[in-house]
Structure 1
Amino acid sequence: MLYAQTPAHEKRRLFRERLASGELLRFPGAFNPLSAKLIGERGFDGVYISGAVLAADLGLPDIGLTTLTEVAGRAKQIARMTELPAIVDADTGFGEPMNVARSIQEFEDAGLAGLHIEDQINPKRCGHLDGKQVVDEDTALKRIRAAVDARRDSNFLIMARTDIRAVEGLDAAIDRAKKLVDAGADAIFPEAMADLSEFEAMRNAIDVPLLANMTEFGKSELFTVDQLRDVGMNLVIWPVSLLRLAMGAAMRGLDELDASGNLEAKLGEMQHRAELYELVDYEGYNHFDTSVFNFRVAR
């Protein structure tokens, strides 16, 4: 009932334990708090909160227009609804190193298990678009050092994302990843790897956990969990997939409504009212206060 029963510090501790085990953890992207609950119900390992999804939720492109307050507020709403650890896309840290430091503490207070900060210039763009620009090495390292210095819970995961592969090639990505680890990054997110061999090369060069981004319509192939496990990845995210599925269904539903005047043909594709009520735990609220739930849903 209400929010998750596992406190944020405990989610972080358990997450770090599992990450240290070397297993591959699966983090689908939640586009709202309800979808985060569904991810947990379906047995996944964690919840990812995409900056692109949060921007799209506001009707904006993923080019750094969202603010720290907006992202932290929405991330808190999502993270508190699941027993799973949630990691959030913190873009470039929302400003200079002092802003990065504040961002860390805001996300700690919001109940996140960790975040990643990238080395693009600010404002950034989607990691799978052409024409990206990255900051110089000194600026990238300062962002990570500021994040590490600001952290109060040692289990809060600080991941460094590097987009330099698309700009300067794989060797540059490996070199920058090594230096980001030396600056204190707990994990590395190498963005837009071209194929499995590049993930494997990154794995052979880097000792900390690595994340694979399986976003549709991007630069990377959509590798399976088994393929990514075999080359040593530790985390895999599907950042925008659930939003894309939901919006695709919404588009088809609106087309049907426009063409037929009702949605009877789409009933089989909808989440049933009873399934929704089970997901949000109407019965649990009934035990707390019968005035909240005092009817039964016909099945």
Structure 2
Amino acid sequence: MPHPSLRQALAADEFILAPGVFDMISAKVADGMGFKALYATGFGVTASHLGLPDAGIATYTDMVSRMGTIARGCTTPVIADADTGYGGLLNVRHAVRGYEDAGVTAIQIEDQEVPKKCGHTPGRKVIPAEEMALKIRVAVEARRSEDFLIIARTDSRTSLGLEEAIRRGKIFAEAGADVIFIESPESEAEMAEVGRQIKKPLFANMVEGGCTPIVPADRLHAMGYRIAIYPAVGFLTVAAALTKAYGQLKADGHSNNMGVNDAYSFARMCELMGFPDVWAFDKKWAEEAGNLPKAAE
């Protein structure tokens, strides 16, 4: 079931800061840190699962399976990238129901043409606003719980300009979206203008090295944003750490020079992955098995 806490936080005008997670190690680490939500990133999940670019290659089946694994493995509500809804109106209905059944709490659907592209890369094209509005109406009707949030994203800013992106945001709000996501504004002034014109909770995509400036949470909140995701911070950091660790291993021929601050201990990783429960189970049932009568020889 979707977590009611996200809808409650929006109703209470709270700010939701969500780190990007892309596999179960990143999800488990973030899940224990007290965030109000986690963002299951399409870029990161596609990269970690398939080793491919976020360019419409991953299918609904690929993504709902991975998103469900993340959602079921965490106690924190998960906001999940669902690309374009994976096709037409019937596909959108199927995607919404599938993601909700998988345990996700909020789904992000965008107005790009199929195949879609990552929001901070060039060459994105969008469908007519009215066609996207129908997708949103279908998504709202398809959900079983009001606690399952529909986030409507437009990628029109880059190719059609800010005015058109704001116009679409207003249309999507009227169609019933719970949260509006104007992708890739190019300055803090543009972000503020979005906040002045759209009177719905807003969604900010903070990508290190992307098209949009990284704005602190307090300023985002003051502009009307209620959710900020940092989708790339996890996989960018992990890739850098692995490059360093693997490079040192190759250079030295061993891992003895890895500093204690550079990596988890093996014991800590075992704890993160739930091994203490396995060991307790094994101990309990080994004792029970030891009390069974011996088989006759």
TM-score by length of 2: 0.91
- 1:55 alignment counterpart: 46
Equivalence map 1:247-262=2 (5 Å): 247-262=239-254
- 1:70 alignment counterpart: 62
Paired letter, 2:91: N
**Matches of 2:95 and 2:102 in 1, distance apart?**
10
- Please give the per-residue CA displacement for 1:81-106, whole angstroms capped at 9, x wherever unaligned: 11110011100110111001100000
- 1:3 alignment counterpart: none
Paired letter, 2:249: L
1:66, distance to aligned residue in structure 2 (A): 0.5
Give the unaligned 5+ runs of structure 2.
Answer: 288-297
Structure (1 or 2) with the larger CA radius of gyration: 2
2:141 is the alignment partner of 1:149: yes
Which of residues 92, 95, 102 in structure 2 aligns to 1:103?
A: 95
- Please give the per-residue CA displacement for 1:69-122, whole angstroms capped at 9, x wherever unaligned: 110000011111111100111001101110011000000110000111001111
My pick for the range that moved more, 261-270 or 182-191, is 261-270
1:283, distance to aligned residue in structure 2 (A): 2.9
Q: How many residues align?
A: 285
Paired letter, 2:234: L
Which of residues 219, 226, 251 in structure 1 aligns to 2:218?
A: 226
SS of the equivalent of 1:64 reads coil
- 2:263 alignment counterpart: 270
- 2:228 alignment counterpart: 236
1:229, distance to aligned residue in structure 2 (A): 2.3
Paired letter, 1:238: Y
1:65, distance to aligned residue in structure 2 (A): 0.5
1:226, distance to aligned residue in structure 2 (A): 2.5
- Please give the per-residue CA displacement for 1:96-152, whole angstroms capped at 9, x wherever unaligned: 110011000000110000111001111011111122111112221121112112111
**Matches of 2:203 and 2:284 in 1, distance apart?**
46
- Please give the per-residue CA displacement for 1:170-213, whole angstroms capped at 9, x wherever unaligned: 11111100000111111111111112222221112222211111
Paired letter, 2:14: E
SS of the equivalent of 2:115 reads coil
- 1:130 alignment counterpart: 122
Equivalence map 1:1-299=2 (5 Å): 8-9=1-2, 11=3, 13-57=4-48, 58-268=50-260, 269-290=262-283
- 8 A Cα contact 1:286 1:293, kept in partner: no
My pick for the range that moved more, 155-164 or 199-208, is 199-208
SS of the equivalent of 1:192 reads coil
**Matches of 2:230 and 2:178 in 1, distance apart?**
21
Paired letter, 1:276: M
- 8 A Cα contact 2:80 2:106, kept in partner: yes
1:285, distance to aligned residue in structure 2 (A): 3.9
The RMSD of aligned alpha carbons is 1.8
- 8 A Cα contact 2:43 2:53, kept in partner: yes
My pick for the range that moved more, 91-100 or 130-139, is 130-139
My pick for the range that moved more, 267-276 or 233-242, is 267-276
**Matches of 1:88 and 1:292 in 2, distance apart?**
39
Paired letter, 2:267: A
TM-score by length of 1: 0.90
SS of the equivalent of 2:113 reads coil
**Matches of 1:37 and 1:22 in 2, distance apart?**
27
- 8 A Cα contact 2:196 2:223, kept in partner: no
1:287, distance to aligned residue in structure 2 (A): 4.2
My pick for the range that moved more, 188-197 or 100-109, is 188-197
Give the unaligned 5+ runs of structure 1.
Answer: 1-7, 295-299
- Please give the per-residue CA displacement for 1:232-270, whole angstroms capped at 9, x wherever unaligned: 210010112111111111111121111111122224211
